[in-house]
Structure 1
Amino acid sequence: MKKYKYSVPIMNATVTVENRGEYLRLMKEAGVERVLLCICDLWDHEPTVAANIASLKANIAFFEENGIEAGIWQGDTLGHGVALSHALHSSAPKPYSPIVNLNGTVIGDTRCPLDEDFKRDVSDYLQRLARETGARLILLDDDFRIARRSDAFCCACEKHLAWMSELCGEELGREELSKKLFEKPNKYRSAYIKATGDSLRALAAEMRRTMDEFDPTVRIGICCVPSAWNLDGASGLEIARILAGNTEPFLRLSGAPYWAVTSDKTMPMLLETERMLLSLCPDGSAEIVSEGDVYPRPRYTVPAAHLELFDAAMRASGFGGILKYMFDYNTSPHYDPSYVKHHCRNLPLHEAVGEVFDGKTASGVLVYACEGVLDTADFTLSSAARVQYLPTTNAGSMLQNCGIPTVYGKGEACAVAVFGEAARKIPLDMLQKGAILDGVAAAILSERGVDVGLRGDVARNTLNVRAIKTEDEANVSVYRGSGTFITAPIAESARILACAVGDGRTVAYRYRNADGQSFTVFTFDSDTIDRFSSLTRGFAIEKILFDGIAAVGGRLPAHCPAAPDLYTLCSRGEHSLAIGFFNCYADDVLNPVIALDRAYTSARFVGCEGRLEGDRLILSDIPAYKSVAIEVFD
């Protein structure tokens, strides 16, 4: 069975001689194999640095002597630009050159990687941490990024502007660059991507070079954010490899349980983000862990149920481990140990879920995602509203809102979905049977010569859809229905699946072209639609998606209808199918009946009871925020 490793972060300052034993007891109870001791102080106040190093050295030695691998998590390098709840610097930072956005605003508490003093000082500091504490792994937090900070893009400091001007062969100002970035693809955007990416690569290379002078076997890892794969010009995996040198790269991906509580993101969306980013990292390319973060902690902010659901889904998705934030950052181990208690209670279930999925290949609707979407994006057609999340998970999130299993990268595909600017990159031979599209993808594929049913010129119109009419219902209320729609004449043979009540504008249609390709098209730009909008979730949308899959000749490996946010994973083995249901909704799923792609002969159940009746499963109720798994055999 594939190894699944639990790592936990703890603020080093909370670990003392008096409570180290309690931390150790809890870690052993939870099956933790690695602890990362976090410090957020900078390197410019010697008394603080010396005190941190002395404490880290003692704590690392204690945990290592007791069978727990111990490393350091450096919580601040380039700077977060905001004060995190656990990061209170003990001194005023040294005045390095800050990161500056395209509006000319200086981003406080940041350091530009083109500042040579900063580059030297931070690299020397990381080497000192390893040399004087004995740490074998140093993890850098996800402030190792440039592009997306505050409401504008970075970095447009004088050095970055000069570099981009040189690349473009003309003098560039911030205002001009800001306009040029979000037009059609051009040399200005290419220069921005290159200058941003190369400055991060150079910083990572200097960190590695300096560490190698001491010990080339010390690992430096990285926590990434989604923007790494496009806006920052250097992917999280690429930076992880540079930092690693000749050691095994370490990469923590992005998509955390707290997103579903403290931001406008749904639980299916964050799970899709993790799985999508994992698909962009080839097997065996690094030690890759998921982001089991419940910031800001403790448990009255983010329920343990969210973290446990996340953990189970990541196991089933093929992750080799999780950075699981089970300890509060600022308080003693006695203050709120309930994350650990919930973890221990669920651990046998999670191990059983992982065993059901082990060694199998994902099965479902293939969601196309790739790197480099920003390079070719045309922002006169598509929106830049979520450009920091490119490649987006809009298609996967919409499918999983409706309990439709998804696949990223390699896998068994019953249908294909591609939304937004990714349609410029998708190989056309992947669309032999057709696809599920949003309006932007439909317009792009039409430009590429694929007949998706659009006729004539394409326009963008902002609409507020309050209700839709479908083939089965005359008036389905729409919550948060405002967004941008791609409008164009539609082929007469297209079948209108949903239209706006009132003006009758088409919201969804299905079209089969002369080559036999079937396209189910949602006419909105998915980047402009609220993530909780009824345009991307609900029973009417679920039926349109389900029928669209059938229209390309596909049949879902498993589907539980009319269960909101029932995140569904399927994986095919040599003689069996693994099915996982992760209920991300506050309602229990009552008396679920699961449609299967064909008849099976037997089944086993994990976390639930049930019976197999040929090509369907009848299960016991699936409680809110609980996980179950089933394996059906040929």
Structure 2
Amino acid sequence: MQKAFAGGPSPERDAWLQACGDSLRHLAARLRAAVDTVSPDIRLGHCAVLSTWDVDGVDSIELARIFAGRTRPFLRFIGAPYWAPMHAWGFRLATIIETERMQRKWCEGQGIEIFSEGDVYPRPRFNAPAAYLEGFDTALRADGGLDGILKYMLDYSCSPRYETGYVDRHVLNTPLYEEIDKHFASKPAVGVRIFEAMHKLQRAILPPAFPGAGYVQETFISASIEFLCDNSVPMQYDTPDVTIVFGENARYASAETLQYGAILDAPAAEILTQRGFDVGLRKVLGQASVRAEYYPADGETVPVGGTYFNLEVDSRVRFVTHLKGEGAAGGVFEYENGEGVRFLVYPFNAYETRHHDRAFRCYCRMRQLAAGIEYVRRRPMDVVCLGNPDLYIQCKKDENSLSIGLWNFCVDEILAPEIRLCDEYESAQFIRCSGQLRGKVMELSTLPPFGFAAVVLQRRIGADSVHRSRTSA
């Protein structure tokens, strides 16, 4: 195993992935055959885990089809709300939700019935509060792409009457589910596009010495998703737009992936440069000893940690942050190549830096990233709401309206959240909040801890339209 998962691709890695994949394929086939002796019409499926998307040498789509036999395949995704209070693998609730959305994208068009892992293990609410489950459920209802949720609401070890809090809140939120379905589920999502390849491990360049099983398994966990969630950036998986590509995903990115501009980390920039794309990088000079990052726009220096690099870059780049530390140089940079494609490049390895909070989770980073996205796409994001830790945002948009969902996954309330819009709209409907719409700015009422609020904006008609507000409980 140590030979298989150190350095670059190797025969040992190929053999490991083939053997692991075949063992699971054979197991699934034997289980299907056993069920067929009773009835081939019985549906059989499985629950995905982190490793059944790549590390095991097979993916859950293939396994779902083997388990299904002649029936319709079905699959429960991996990613549960209880991970957040348990801090499993460093997950926060927004990242868990987006990991489910990522798997939904992978399963698109595969003919598989898909549902989320609405688990609150180990139960009861002393361990996993219902607020995590309801935030998870409502956000994936807003996504609208899953067939359902496997919602674990009863305590396994006691009677059904022992813990009713999960069911009580599910019933209480039923009207909200209907509002979310109405205003969000069927609209296309807008935001930064996530580019996350399902199979990356076979061709991946890993550290020269075996980094440990945890490092390998966690290649499934998207650093791109974590980065955007930590900075309250709406994201999506379908619509061509500025795209975030971190790490080994760059081996699978095409010219189409990058044509609207991209956000890169240093390994992705190096891979793309080696593949012939001009992203502003000329050479990775080596790892940098970085103790802080200076943000000129804020006049603020913020301590950081993680894996940073000194980079040799094109003379046309513009640095928007500066690394501080003995021998450290450069920083985050913006760049436009000769074809007019723009890039925002971070001088760190995102996968090795994501657990150093201030590199990802930082007020200055929020502002810098929002400005950088505006630079790359040549216009602001549809929705920007800065300065609120663990604010999760989804945006759904059609030709007539924009639906904005805000989930406050922080234990602090958000006082008078201010939302900046890219476009002007004629009217706003406020759901579970009140607010005012003034041109391209909205101010909402206080959003409580683990609270949800939504705004549905109707397209502006004519230059002299009057802004109207409507509040609903």
TM-score by length of 2: 0.90
Counterpart CA distance in 2 for 1:530 and 1:432 is 26
The reply to whether residue 571 of structure 1 matches residue 400 of structure 2 is no
The reply to whether residue 395 of structure 1 matches residue 224 of structure 2 is yes
Q: Any idea what SS the aligned residue of 1:585 has?
A: coil
* Amino acid corresponding to residue 428 of structure 2 in structure 1: A
The reply to whether residue 472 of structure 1 matches residue 301 of structure 2 is no
Deviations 1:313-332 (A, max 9, x none): 11111222111121112112
Give 1:458 deviation, angstroms.
Answer: 4.3
Give 1:475 deviation, angstroms.
Answer: 3.8
Are the equivalent residues in 1 in contact too, given 2:143–2:185 (CA < 8 A)?
no
Are the equivalent residues in 2 in contact too, given 1:369–1:391 (CA < 8 A)?
no
Are the equivalent residues in 1 in contact too, given 2:194–2:236 (CA < 8 A)?
yes
Q: Any idea what SS the aligned residue of 1:310 has?
A: helix
Counterpart CA distance in 2 for 1:370 and 1:539 is 29
Give 1:295 deviation, angstroms.
Answer: 1.5
Write out aligned runs for 1:82-481 (5 A).
102=1, 178-263=2-87, 264-283=90-109, 285-318=111-144, 319-380=146-207, 386-408=215-237, 410-411=238-239, 413-461=240-288, 463=289, 465=291, 467-478=292-303, 481=304
- Shift in CA distance, 621/207, structure 1 to aligned 2, threshold 3 Å: same
Are the equivalent residues in 1 in contact too, given 2:249–2:268 (CA < 8 A)?
yes
* Amino acid corresponding to residue 323 of structure 2 in structure 1: A
Deviations 1:229-253 (A, max 9, x none): 1101211121111101121212111
Are the equivalent residues in 2 in contact too, given 1:445–1:452 (CA < 8 A)?
yes
Aligned length: 452
Deviations 1:493-535 (A, max 9, x none): 3222222334353342222222222211111111112436111
Give 1:187 deviation, angstroms.
Answer: 2.2
1:482 paired residue number: 305
Give 1:381 deviation, angstroms.
Answer: 8.3
1:12 paired residue number: none
Deviations 1:582-601 (A, max 9, x none): 11111112112211221111
Unpaired segments ≥5 residues, structure 2 = 460-473
Are the equivalent residues in 2 in contact too, given 1:494–1:509 (CA < 8 A)?
yes
Counterpart CA distance in 1 for 2:322 and 2:243 is 23
Q: Any idea what SS the aligned residue of 1:455 has?
A: strand
Counterpart CA distance in 2 for 1:502 and 1:201 is 50
Are the equivalent residues in 2 in contact too, given 1:459–1:486 (CA < 8 A)?
yes
Deviations 1:422-441 (A, max 9, x none): 01001122212421111111
Counterpart CA distance in 2 for 1:239 and 1:621 is 46
Counterpart CA distance in 1 for 2:241 and 2:422 is 10
Deviations 1:81-110 (A, max 9, x none): xxxxxxxxxxxxxxxxxxxxx4xxxxxxxx
Counterpart CA distance in 2 for 1:486 and 1:428 is 25
Q: Any idea what SS the aligned residue of 1:469 has?
A: strand
2:457 paired residue number: 632
Counterpart CA distance in 2 for 1:565 and 1:457 is 33
Deviations 1:64-94 (A, max 9, x none): xxxxxxxxxxxxxxxxxxxxxxxxxxxxxxx
Give 1:476 deviation, angstroms.
Answer: 3.2
2:409 paired residue number: 584
From 380, 385, 391, the equivalent of 1:560 is 385
Write out aligned runs for 1:12-31 (5 A).
none
**Radius of gyration: which is bigger?**
1
Are the equivalent residues in 1 in contact too, given 2:395–2:403 (CA < 8 A)?
yes
Unpaired segments ≥5 residues, structure 1 = 1-101, 103-177
Counterpart CA distance in 2 for 1:502 and 1:486 is 11
Q: Any idea what SS the aligned residue of 2:332 has?
A: strand
Q: Any idea what SS the aligned residue of 1:192 has?
A: helix
Give 1:560 deviation, angstroms.
Answer: 1.2
Are the equivalent residues in 1 in contact too, given 2:241–2:260 (CA < 8 A)?
no
2:448 paired residue number: 623
Q: Any idea what SS the aligned residue of 1:366 has?
A: strand
Deviations 1:524-578 (A, max 9, x none): 1111124361111222111221112111224312121212211111112242112
**RMSD of Structure 2 on Structure 1 (CA):** 2.1
Give 1:216 deviation, angstroms.
Answer: 0.8
2:329 paired residue number: 505
2:418 paired residue number: 593
Counterpart CA distance in 1 for 2:400 and 2:201 is 41
* Amino acid corresponding to residue 565 of structure 1 in structure 2: D
- Shift in CA distance, 297/313, structure 1 to aligned 2, threshold 3 Å: same
Counterpart CA distance in 1 for 2:241 and 2:108 is 23
Counterpart CA distance in 2 for 1:518 and 1:179 is 39
Deviations 1:13-48 (A, max 9, x none): xxxxxxxxxxxxxxxxxxxxxxxxxxxxxxxxxxxx
- Shift in CA distance, 457/567, structure 1 to aligned 2, threshold 3 Å: closer
Deviations 1:442-477 (A, max 9, x none): 11111111122222354345x453x32111234433
Counterpart CA distance in 1 for 2:208 and 2:449 is 40
TM-score by length of 1: 0.68
Are the equivalent residues in 1 in contact too, given 2:405–2:454 (CA < 8 A)?
yes
Are the equivalent residues in 2 in contact too, given 1:229–1:372 (CA < 8 A)?
yes
Counterpart CA distance in 2 for 1:532 and 1:489 is 24
Are the equivalent residues in 2 in contact too, given 1:475–1:501 (CA < 8 A)?
no
Counterpart CA distance in 1 for 2:355 and 2:434 is 33
Are the equivalent residues in 1 in contact too, given 2:228–2:235 (CA < 8 A)?
yes
Give 1:354 deviation, angstroms.
Answer: 2.3
Are the equivalent residues in 1 in contact too, given 2:284–2:311 (CA < 8 A)?
yes
Q: Any idea what SS the aligned residue of 1:488 has?
A: strand
- Shift in CA distance, 613/386, structure 1 to aligned 2, threshold 3 Å: farther
Q: Any idea what SS the aligned residue of 1:535 has?
A: helix
1:134 paired residue number: none
* Amino acid corresponding to residue 602 of structure 1 in structure 2: S
Q: Any idea what SS the aligned residue of 1:487 has?
A: strand
Are the equivalent residues in 2 in contact too, given 1:570–1:579 (CA < 8 A)?
yes
Are the equivalent residues in 1 in contact too, given 2:311–2:330 (CA < 8 A)?
no
Counterpart CA distance in 2 for 1:205 and 1:525 is 40
1:548 paired residue number: 372
Give 1:415 deviation, angstroms.
Answer: 1.2
Of the structure 1 ranges 363-372 and 593-602, higher mean CA displacement relative to structure 2 is found in 593-602
Are the equivalent residues in 1 in contact too, given 2:5–2:216 (CA < 8 A)?
no
